[in-house]
A and B are shown apart, each in its own frame.
Chain A
Amino acid sequence: MRLALVAAILVLTLTVASAEQLARPLDRLKTIDPRTPVADLTLATGEGGTTRLSDFRGKVLVVNVWATWCAPCRKEMPGLARLQGFLEGEDVKVLPIAVDREGVAAAEQFFAANGIAGLPLLAAPAKEVVAAFGEDRLPYTVLIDKKGREFARLVGPAAWDDTEFAILIRTIARSADE
C-alpha cells in the first residue's frame, strides 16, 4: 500500500517535472480565423495500407507533424498519447504524422522503444506534408474541426496532456457542429 503511494507520488512528480519543461498549449496556440479547409493528405498506416485525413471527418483532429530525428518532437509524444487517453470515447483523434524518410517503420520503432501506446502509426512524405501545411520546421500541431477545417496551430512542442487543453478539445468535440 505504502509502496503504491510512493510510486504514485513519484509518477506524479515525474509527470509534473516533464510537463514543466514544455509550454502549455493554450499559451502558444494561434487561432486560425477564418477556419480553412486542410489538404486531404494521404497517410501510410501501421498496417501497411493508407488512409486519408478526410477519413476522419466528423472528429476533432489533433494532427501532430513530427520526425524521430527531431528531439522536441520525441519529447512531446508521450503527452500526446496521454491526451488521447484522456479523451477516450470522445469524437477526438490524435494523429501523429511522421515525416521520417523511413516512414511508419521509424515511428513504430520509436513508439515501441518508448512504450508509447494508444496512438496510430501514421506517416507521409515530408514533401507532401510541407505542401499541405506550409511549415518548414518541426514539430507543429494543427487542430482541425469536425468539418475538416483548421482552427488553430501551434509551432514547437507543448505539454499536450495539459488539463485545460484537454477540456477545451473535449468541449469543442461535444459542441454542436458550426
Chain B
Amino acid sequence: MADYRRRLATVGLIAGAALLAAMAVLPAGRAHAATVVVREADKTEKAPERRAFVMTDTQGRMFTDQDMLGSFALIYFGYTSCPDVCPTSLQTVAMALEELGDDADRLKAIFVTVDPERDTPDVMRQYISMFDERIIGLTGPKPFIDSMVAAYNVKYEIGEIDPERPKDYLVDHSASIAFVGPDGKLITRFGYGMTSEQIAERIREIISKTTVN
C-alpha cells in the first residue's frame, strides 16, 4: 500500500514537474514555433538553420539575428565604393520595397557591408539615404562580418581591376539577396539579375502562404 502511494506521489511529482516545465517553455516557444513558412528547396543549403550574428547598425546600435525575429528579412551583402562596375542590387531592393507597399512593413531590408574599412557607419548612412531610409545598414569588426558572411553562405571578394583583364573584375554574382523568414531561417535567395518586380512578387507569394498563429 505504502509502495503504491509512493508510486502515485512519484507519478504526480513527475506530472507536476512536466506541467511546470511545459508552462515555462510554452510562452517562449510559441512566437516562433507556430510560424509556418513555406520554403523553397535551395541546392546550396543543407538545412535552413537560424544563423546567429552580432553586428552594429549605422546608428551605432547593436543588431543581432534576434532583432530580425518576427519579421521577414532581405539581406544583401555589398559595399559602397565599387571601383569599376557597381551592382544595382541595393537599388533593386529599394524598388522592391516600394513595389511591396504596405507588405514592406512585414520585412526588414538589411544591407551588410563587406568593406568595413571604407564603409563607416556615416558613409553607409549617407549611401543608404540615396536608396531607401528603411534599409538597415550593418557593419562591424571584420571577423564579425566574416562570420555573418559565412553564416549566410555568401562569397565575396574585393579586387582591384587588372587593366590587362578588365573583365576579370569581380562583381560577385553569388552575392544574391537572401530572403529570411520570421523564424530567422533562410527561405530562398534572389539571384543577381532578378528585377524588383520579380522579387516583390515572390515575396508577396511567400508572405501570403505564411501563417502566424
Contact = CB atoms under 8 A, between A and B. Distances in A.
A24 to B, nearest CB: 10
20 contacts: A67-B86, A69-B80, A71-B81, A71-B82, A71-B83, A72-B82, A73-B86, A101-B131, A101-B132, A102-B130, A127-B95, A130-B88, A136-B193, A137-B86, A138-B86, A138-B88, A156-B84, A156-B85, A156-B166, A156-B169
B84 A70 contact: no
Contacts of B95: 126-127
Interface string A47-85: 000000000000000000001111111000000000000
B83 A155 contact: no
Contacts of B116: none
Interface in A129-161: 130, 136-139, 155-157
A110 to B, nearest CB: 11
Interface residues of B, number: 27
A126 B130 contact: no
A136 B197 CA distance: 13
A101 B130 contact: yes
B87 interface: yes
A17 to B, nearest CB: 15
Interface in B153-176: 163, 166, 169, 171
Given A69-B86, A71-B86, A137-B171, 4 more contacts: A27-B166, A67-B130, A72-B84, A106-B130
Interface residues of A, number: 25
B91 interface: yes
Interface of B: 80-89, 91-92, 94-95, 127, 130-132, 163, 166, 169, 171, 192-193, 195-197
A40 B86 CA distance: 25
A30 to B, nearest CB: 11
B190 to A, nearest CB: 12
Contacts of B131: 69, 101
Contacts of B197: 127
Interface in A106-126: 106, 126
Contacts of B130: 67-69, 100-102, 106
A136 B166 contact: no
A173 interface: no
A100 B81 CA distance: 16
A102 B192 CA distance: 24
Interface in A17-46: 23, 27-28
A154 B86 CA distance: 14
A23 B163 contact: yes
In this complex, which of A28, A69, A99, A102 has the most chain B Cβ atoms within 10 angstroms of its Cβ? A69
B169 to A, nearest CB: 8
B83 A138 contact: no
B167 to A, nearest CB: 9
Nearest to A134: B193
A72 B87 CA distance: 12
